[in-house]
Structure 1
Amino acid sequence: MSDAISHEAGGGKGPLDPQDLPDTVRRAIDLCLERKAREPTVLDLRGLSDATDFFIVASGDSDVHVRAIAEHLVEELRQEGVRPAGVEGERAARWVLIDYIDLVVHLFHPVVRDFYQLERLWGDAPSILIEEPA
């Protein structure tokens, strides 16, 4: 992963070490940043959720932007042999959920992200806010 980690935030289990992130999580972060995702955050749900190990939560500036981030992520990972178990919400692109089993990527329109506040909902999870490139 690029040197894009800004700071550690939140978390009841102590700080999340970026070196502990699996390769797929690191690659997904880079792909989101390639399409200029806003405020990408990684939540470590290991031990907190039986459904997945990591969330990536990020925003796009518009529905078109959210869709572009999602399409880029899915296509690039697919070319690398990583296929999602499911993709939801891509058509409307207000909240796109991409399920890679151990990683779930949530891409939001800013208003929708603010409404659902996943980072607050999972406030006990160690997290890292990724710095957006200049």
Structure 2
Amino acid sequence: MTDITNQLPEMIAAAADDKKARDIVILDMQGISSVTDFFVICSANSTTQVAAIADNIEEKLSEKGINPLHKEGYREAHWILLDYGTCVVHIFIEEDRNFYNLERLWGDAQSRSYEA
């Protein structure tokens, strides 16, 4: 695993925190999912804030030459997904996060809260 792979979840979490994302959690998916190494999951109060968090993550990582491979959910902005390959970001409106409960779904993953 490269150094950037280890740093990417923290960089994403910091960018989300810049826009006041709540309950930022990093799940270590290595050995659990073949799709990605990490999930970063966070919540927002409104669809406007969901989009602002996603935009800030994209902007901060783009400044470092890191661009998402795929993104979806901007139209409704209830759940925006940004796929950076080794790290997938899930930005939820609070109600949707509670409904989908990815932390429980991926309960085998080691989890840590982001502390700024």
Scaled by the length of structure 1, the TM-score of the pair is 0.81
Q: Which amino acid aligns with 2:56?
A: H
Q: Which runs of 4 or more aligned residues in structure 1 lie more than 3 Å from their structure 2 counterparts after TM superposition? A: none
Structure 1: any 5+ residue segments left out of the alignment?
1-20
- 1:26-41 aligned within 5 A: 26-41=10-25
Structure 2: any 5+ residue segments left out of the alignment?
none
Number of the residue aligned with 1:129: 113
More helix per residue: 2
Scaled by the length of structure 2, the TM-score of the pair is 0.93
Number of the residue aligned with 1:54: 38
Number of the residue aligned with 1:15: none
1:96 matched to 2:80: yes
- Structure 2 distance, partners of 1:84, 1:101, is 8
1:47-83: per-residue Cα shift (whole Å, max 9, x none)? 0000000000000110000000000101111111001
**Offset, 1:84:** 0.2
**Offset, 1:37:** 0.4
Which structure has the larger Rg over C-alpha atoms? 1
User: Please, which of 8, 25, 37 is the counterpart of residue 24 of structure 1?
Assistant: 8
Question: What fraction of aligned residue pairs are identical, expressed as a percent?
Answer: 41
